[in-house]
A and B are shown apart, each in its own frame.
Chain A
Amino acid sequence: MTGLILLPLAWASLAFVLGPGRGKWLAIGGLSAQAWLAFDLAAKVGAGGTALLHPVGGWGAPLGIDLAADGLSAVMLLLVQCIALPLAIHAGAYFKRGDAAGAYFWPLAGFLIAGLNALFLSADLFNLYVTLELVGLAAVGLVAAGGGAQQVAAALRYLFATLVGSGLYLLGVALIHGAYGTVSIAILTPLVTSDAPRLVWIAGGLMLAGLMVKTALFPFHTWLPSAHGNAPAPVSALLSALVVKASFYLILRLWLGPLAPLTSAIAWLPALLGALAILWGSWQAIRAERLKRLIAYSTVAQLGYLFLIFPLLPGTDALEAGIMQAFAHGLAKAAMFVAAGVIIEATGRESVMDLSGAAGHLPLTLFAFGLAGMTLMGLPPSAGFLAKWLLIEAALDRGHWGLVAVVLAGGLLAAVYVFRVLRQAFLLAPADAVVKSVPRRLEWVAFLLAAASVLLGLRGVDLVRLLGAGA
């Protein structure tokens, strides 16, 4: 399991040494090996049925730092490698030699992925803070890379949001350490009880709030549309598909782990914000002028679903619904941003209104967009549909009809903005439209990711089984 952290660190730094624009094959090779490692880890966790533990330095918590991999970690690691590898192949074709935005893409992406993998494996609250910063700063760098004023402004906005988020989280960790003298999740979990001192409640609130800022939960989402909507397509894909999921994962970890005795009182708050996120994000996506901004707002909305599960935890299907949604959205949103990148590259236009005729010129890309849209709308047989199904069942289990209504309304709203794009693309092209040819590889990556998000819907049972391992 350490390979998943060491490998990307190694190829990221070597890619930097190699120099601007270089390191593509190093990255693709490294990511292929990581993908294999992630599947291997998933197989081990799934077969053993228990969490794997790796005490770094051989000390063990509380003195040392533990790495731990259970079903949840294994699923998230799979998600990262399964999305990063195709995106790397895509980015290899997307960034041209001498492209300022791509000059340092490989080292930055490498550190980002290393940070993500480290985050999903860490079982130490302070170490998690360092991984959060690694992920956050790498993500900011990717947004800023080689960009104009728009992009730099977006990066700065993102930077402050992520710094405030990790600052709140760090203060929480400091308070927890002050109260219990340890930051090991495993040791803390039995120590924290519902009669914990007020300090611990504040700490929990700070950590969750900080992570919600980083996950761009409504109303902390304001940084996301500009960051995800202005970055180059492969970067937007990485950020929307993976980075926001990292902080969500950590919320889930804390919620199910050490903070479990404290959270029952506030379980409706994230769900309420999630519901607002779905409505507001969808509404903004329906109104958005630029294609990428539409997709970015769709991310705001889709992240909302993740937070609907909290009042249903711990209960049947709730965790499964959240993770299925995270996985499905990751694949679909990566596909969608890649597809948008192809369209913008080919037509040279960014606005939704200028898409007319795209279906004729780029049928594969549009098909990919449609498939990804299926997942976002939660239409069968996509994985997004399974997530919706699980969520509705979990909500019915608790008799929460309000959540059911939100989920269903969200699906219809998603249909409005997805078909807003598809409809425009199916219109006849204006006579003066000029379309550049784009490498087929770019189109295929979008298609593969989108197809994966749909086909996963047929194998949801494997994901659920793996998720149950070692929990």
Chain B
Amino acid sequence: MTANEWLPLAVLASSLLPGLIIFVLPEGWIGLRTTLNLVGAIAKLVLVGVLLAGVAAGTEYGVRLAVLPGLDLAFKADALGLLFITLSAVLWLFTTLYAIGYLEGAPHRSRFFGFFSLCVTATMGIAMAANLFTFFVFYELLTLSTFPLVVHRGTDKAMKGGTIYLAYTLAGGTALLTGIVWLHHLLGHTEFAHTGIAAALGPEQAIQLKTIFLLLIAGVGVKAALVPLHGWLPQAMVAPAPVSALLHAVAVVKAGAFGIVRIVYEIYGVEFAQALDLLTPLAILAAITIVWGSFRALFQDDLKKRLAYSTVSQVSYIALGVALFGPIGTIGGLVHLVHQGIMKITLFFCAGNYAETLGIHKVSEMDGAGRRMPLTTIAFTIAALGMIGVPATAGAVSKAWLSAGAAAAGMGWAVWVLWTSSLLNAAYFLPILWRVWFRPRLLAWPDEHIPARPWHETAWLLLLPPLITATFTLAFGLFADSPASPLAWAKLIAEREYRAQRSDAPASPPHE
């Protein structure tokens, strides 16, 4: 086995093995558990760094394992996958740090961190899947490994949220499976390829291909929280804050959005999808989701619920970017995959901090929190402004490219959708900022756990992760033109995608 083959497996193993060991660790072995978590997370970052350098230089990483005759579990680390891998690996490190601080003294931590690691392993598998079959395997693993995290608190409310989450995701998984087997039945394989593979079937199968597309998008759309499949996301906010971060930024909704990207670009091929008239309906669905999510967010008093509806809206920016035919829209969608993750994780970290430190769960309780917790609130502010799309933040970059993409694709209405959404974003974030910074505190905090001390507004492990991710939010906005920015990488992917389209090189099926 060459290095190019085992590197993808090593990326999986760097979270799988620590996770499995953590499961069997006794609850009290905190030191070893923390060490394992961090060693795994850092090892993964190093491995991802190696992969990034390699892929930028044009190296191909891949490995496959036959599961059934004609059916392979196949991995590849390509530019698109690495975008997602890097995001998840980096955010995983911060979320782990945050979770260690957040769960200090809580019960069942071995179980929590075990599933946490499995969850990230599944995400890595999704990112590196080289065919739809492999994608599905890890997609379902992600469902299963997040369920125990969602219901971690073991309360009736947690259980209700968890059950709704399961009902949606398992039903979505069933639709996805149906689509995949059907496609596999028609094509004999489901390998991802730059120009897509569905075009090989020809126009007489158009109806079948459209039905399959519907099934596939319904399947991944559940996790991506496309309206009307988004119902689970606001319910799942009963989970502990690090899990919400995981659901909203690192793994789950991202997996769905990433699935949409893979399906449109590498199964159908963006030109063939356009020819089948699939892109416009997808764009409309994304647009509805964007507006509806933002609209619903306006009326939520529960902070995490408001953030959840915000996610519903923001993740569909990615879907919208994908559905805009042309490289500029692609770049906008892909870069938002990263930017949304960075910003939303900051917001959830901060929401967790308010809840853990002061017992604040509702927007109406936030008056004056900025003076009590200035650093947290600065991070929250940066991320919220980023969500609105204020210049110099990462969000502005995404929105600029998406708008340009919409214009280039001749879909002027999409630009209006983006503007409407930005206005709504402002409408539900700015009141919060107003409350925290400018309204005076009149009552006592609902439940103050951590007493205020100068420069120690809350535990450091809770404070550092949002500060760092908020810094990223600014950096990705200010230095978007740097070659190390997510934007540069998204351009690389788009360039490779559309160059392959132009050269008309047929994708070769794998079993020949």
Q: What's the Cα separation between A422 and B150 when bound, in Å?
A: 13
Q: Does B181 lie within 8 Å of A389, measured CB to CB?
A: yes
A412 touches B68 (CB 8 A): no
Q: Which of A393, A411, A427 contacts B154 (CB 8 A)?
A: A427
Q: Which of B67, B136, B143, B171 contacts A457 (CB 8 A)?
A: B67
Q: A-facing mask of B202-220, CB < 8 A → 1, else 0? A: 0000000000000000000
Query: What residue in chain A is nearest B108 (Cβ atoms)?
Result: A360
**Mask of A306-346 contacts with B, CB within 8 angstroms, 1/0:** 00000000000000100000000000000000000000000
> Quick check: B182 and A426 within 8 Å, CB to CB?
no
B366, chain A: closest CB distance, angstroms: 30
Closest to A371 in B: B144
A412 and B163 contacting across the interface, CB-CB below 8 Å: no
Number of interchain pairs (Cβ within 8 Å): 90
Which of B69, B143, B159, B174 contacts A426 (CB under 8 A)?
Answer: B159
Q: How far is the CB of A152 from chain B (nearest CB, A)?
A: 39
B185 touches A379 (CB 8 A): no
Interface membership of A464, Cβ < 8 A? yes
Cβ-defined contact, A458 with B174, below 8 A: no
Q: Does residue B440 face the partner (Cβ distance < 8 Å to A)?
A: no
Alpha-carbon gap, A459 to B68, bound state (A): 8
With the chains together, A255 CA to B171 CA distance in Å? 35
Compute how far the CA of A415 lies from the CA of B156 in the bound complex, rounded to whole angstroms: 19
Q: For residues 364 through 408 of chain A, which have their beta carbon under 8 Å from a beta carbon of chain B?
A: 364, 367, 370, 374, 377, 379-381, 385-386, 388-390, 392-393, 396-397, 404, 408
Instruction: Tell me if B374 counts as interface (CB < 8 A to partner A).
Output: no
Q: Is B479 an interface residue (CB 8 A)?
A: no
Q: Does residue B234 face the partner (Cβ distance < 8 Å to A)?
A: no
State whether the Cβ of B422 lies closer than 8 Å to any Cβ in chain A.
Answer: no
Instruction: Confirm or deny: B184 has a beta carbon within 8 angstroms of a beta carbon on chain A.
Output: yes
Q: Which of B23, B73, B107, B174 contacts A381 (CB 8 A)?
A: B73
The answer to whether A381 touches B68 (Cβ under 8 A) is no
CB pair A396 B159 closer than 8 Å: no
Q: What 1/0 flags go to B105-122 for Cβ under 8 Å of A?
A: 001101100000000000
**B73 cross-chain contacts in A, Cβ below 8 A:** 381, 458
CB distance from A364 to the nearest CB of B (A): 8
Query: Do B137 and A381 have beta carbons less than 8 Å apart?
Result: yes
Quick one: given A381-B141, A412-B174, A415-B166, are A427 and B185 in contact (CB under 8 Å)? Answer: no
Q: Which of B136, B144, B174, B182 contacts A374 (CB 8 A)?
A: B144
Interface residue SS majority, chain A: helix
B contact residues around A367 at 8 Å (CB): 23
Instruction: Evaluate contact between B159 and A393: CB separation under 8 angstroms.
Output: no
Residue of A nearest to B151 (CB): A426
- Inter-subunit contact B68/A386 (CB<8 Å): yes
Within A238-281, the residues touching B (CB, 8 Å) are none
In the assembled complex, B420 has its CB within 8 A of some CB on chain A: no
Across the interface, name the chain B residue whose C-beta is closest to A415: B170
B147 cross-chain contacts in A, Cβ below 8 A: 419, 422
Chain B nearest CB from A248 CB (Å) reads: 21
Task: Tell me if B65 and A423 are in contact (CB < 8 A).
Answer: no
Query: Which of A360, A381, A393 sits near B185, CB closer than 8 Å?
Result: A393
Q: Find out whether the CB atom of B174 lies under 8 angstroms from the CB atom of A363.
A: no
On whether A389 and B178 interact (CB within 8 A), knowing A415-B166, A419-B163, A419-B166, the answer reads no
Are A428 and B66 in touch, CB under 8 angstroms? no
Per a CB cutoff under 8 Å, which of A359, A363, A459, A465 touches B23? A363
| Contact flags A431-443 to B (C-beta < 8 A → 1, else 0) | 0000000000000
A47 near B: Cβ within 8 Å? no
Given A380-B140, A412-B171, A419-B163, are A461 and B181 neighbors across the interface (CB < 8 Å)? no
Contact of A408 among B69, B163, B177 (CB under 8 A): B177
Tell me if B503 counts as interface (CB < 8 A to partner A): no
Instruction: Report the Cα distance A202→B184, complex, angstroms.
Output: 41
CB of A205 closer than 8 Å to a CB of B: no
**Inter-chain contacts of B182 with A (CB < 8 A):** 396
* Contacts A390-B68, A408-B177, A461-B67 given; does A380 touch B137 at CB 8 Å: yes
Q: Mark B144-187, 1 if CB is under 8 A from A, else 0.
A: 10011001001110010011001000110110011001101100
With a CB–CB cut-off of 8 A, which chain B residues contact A363? 23, 108, 110-111
A301 to B437, CA, bound (A): 60
Taken together as a complex, chains A and B put the C-alpha atoms of A428 and B171 apart, in Å, by 27
Which residues in B have their C-beta under 8 angstroms from that of A411? 174
Q: Does B427 contact A (CB under 8 A)?
A: no
Residues of B within 8 A of A422 (CB): 147
Q: A445: shortest Cβ distance to chain B, in Å?
A: 15
The reply on B363 being an interface residue by CB < 8 A is: no
- Is the C-beta of B71 less than 8 angstroms from some C-beta in chain A? yes
Identity of the chain B residue whose Cβ is nearest the Cβ of A429 in the assembled complex? B154
Q: Considering the complex, which residues of chain B in the window 76-119 have a beta carbon less than 8 Å from any beta carbon of chain A?
A: 107-108, 110-111
In the bound assembly, the distance between CA atoms of A374 and B252 in angstroms comes to 19
Closest beta carbon of chain A to B361's beta carbon, Å: 20
B66 with A392: CB separation less than 8 A: no
How distant is the Cα of A390 from the Cα of B143 in the complex, in angstroms?
22
A315 CB to nearest chain B CB (Å) = 13
**Binary contact track B14-47/A, C-beta < 8 Å → 1, others 0:** 0000000001100000000000000000000000
- Shortest distance from the beta carbon of A191 to any chain B beta carbon, whole Å: 34
Instruction: Give Cα distance in the complex from A379 to B163, angstroms.
Output: 17
Decide yes or no whether A49 CB sits under 8 A from chain B.
no
Cβ-defined contact, B156 with A427, below 8 A: yes
Task: Please report the C-alpha to C-alpha distance between residue A415 and residue B110 in the assembled complex, in whole angstroms.
Answer: 25
A426 touches B23 (CB 8 A): no
With known contacts A379-B144, A426-B154, A386–B174 Cβ distance under 8 A: no
Cα-based distance from A6 to B68 in the complex (angstroms): 34
**Is A20 located at the chain interface by the 8 A CB criterion?**
no
CB of A62 within 8 A of chain B? no
Residue from the list A379, A388, A390, A423 in contact with B159, Cβ < 8 A = A423
CA separation between A464 and B182, bound complex, in Å?
Answer: 21
**Which A residues touch B159, using CB under 8 A?**
423, 426-427
Provide 21 A-B residue pairs closer than 8 Å at the C-beta atoms, listed in order of the A residue.
A360-B154, A367-B23, A377-B170, A380-B141, A386-B67, A386-B68, A389-B71, A389-B177, A392-B178, A393-B184, A396-B182, A415-B170, A419-B163, A422-B147, A428-B154, A457-B67, A458-B65, A458-B73, A461-B66, A461-B69, A464-B68
Contacts beyond the supplied A363-B108, A390-B68, A426-B159: 6 A-B pairs with Cβ under 8 Å: A386-B67, A389-B71, A392-B177, A397-B185, A423-B163, A458-B65
User: Chain A residues in contact with chain B, CB under 8 A?
Assistant: 320, 359-360, 363-364, 367, 370, 374, 377, 379-381, 385-386, 388-390, 392-393, 396-397, 404, 408, 411-412, 415, 419, 422-423, 426-428, 457-461, 464-465
Ranked 7 nearest A-B pairs via Cβ: A380-B137, A428-B154, A396-B185, A392-B181, A461-B66, A460-B68, A379-B140
